[in-house]
């Protein structure tokens, strides 16, 4: 089976995750594959590929200002197609947008202990009635925080520097995370 590498953007509501993923996904060689939900599993076997991603039906969910910026405000939500690939997560960006931030983008690598609580903020599947499920969920998120590079991405929240932000993310992925696109064919198993 053909495999591919993917990156994810996470953060609080209104942080700019969908806008950033959509913008990066429009660059040559990149492709958005999901919005708002991402299912993953962890394979702890050596040489297994680490964190694998799984398809969940998704639509692109741009807020009105973002849809207008991209010129898609008059279109219905775009259904995102999941590629026919075995996808592995190669990097996660915890994004923090600030209108007053001086530069288009700033990246810092997070240690597992720093990344785990930030990633867990997006885990909407906790259930106090299923303790074994919670234990597995915590183990999977701990593995995610330690197996996949997690970066804090602070950026200037302005459409005026959006293309600079997307270029900075592409450059960072190429140099720090070893990924050349949001989705890249990596070969055949």
Q: Of 56, 40, 20, nearest to 158 (Cα)? A: 20
Task: Identify the band that residue 100 occupies on the pLDDT scale cut at 50, 70 and 90.
Answer: very high
What is the residue-averaged pLDDT of the chain?
83
Query: Exposure pattern of 123-161 as b/e (b: 16+ CB <10 Å)?
Result: eeeeeeeeeeeeeebeeebbbbbeebbbbbbbbbbeeeb
φ, ψ for residue 64 (rounded to 5)? -50, -45
The helix or strand, by DSSP H or E, that contains position 151, with its residue range, turns out to be strand 150-156
pTM across the whole model: 0.86
Place of tokens 């969920």: 137
Over residues 107-142, the pLDDT tens digits come to: 999 999 999 999 988 876 666 777 788 888 888 899
Over residues 35-52, the pLDDT tens digits come to: 888 888 888 765 555 788
**Intra-chain end-to-end CA distance of the chain, in Å:** 5
């Amino acid at each position: 089976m053909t495999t591919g590498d993917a990156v994810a953007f996470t953060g609080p509501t209104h942080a700019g995750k969908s806008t950033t993923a959509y913008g990066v996904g429009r660059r040559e060689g990149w492709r958005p594959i999901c919005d708002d939900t991402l299912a993953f599993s962890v394979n702890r076997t050596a040489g297994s590929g680490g964190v694998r991603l799984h398809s969940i039906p998704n639509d692109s969910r741009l807020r009105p200002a973002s849809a207008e910026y991209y010129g898609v405000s008059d279109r219905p939500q775009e259904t995102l197609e999941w590629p026919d690939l075995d996808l592995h997560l190669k990097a996660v960006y915890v994004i923090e947008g600030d209108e007053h931030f001086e530069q288009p983008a700033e990246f810092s690598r997070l240690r597992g202990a720093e990344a785990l609580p930030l990633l867990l903020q997006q885990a909407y599947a906790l259930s106090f009635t299923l303790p074994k499920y919670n234990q597995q969920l915590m183990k999977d998120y701990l593995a995610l925080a330690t197996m996949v590079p997690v970066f804090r991405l602070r950026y200037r929240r302005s459409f005026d520097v959006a293309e600079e932000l997307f270029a900075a993310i592409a450059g960072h992925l190429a140099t720090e995370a070893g990924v050349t696109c949001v989705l890249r064919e990596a070969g055949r198993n």
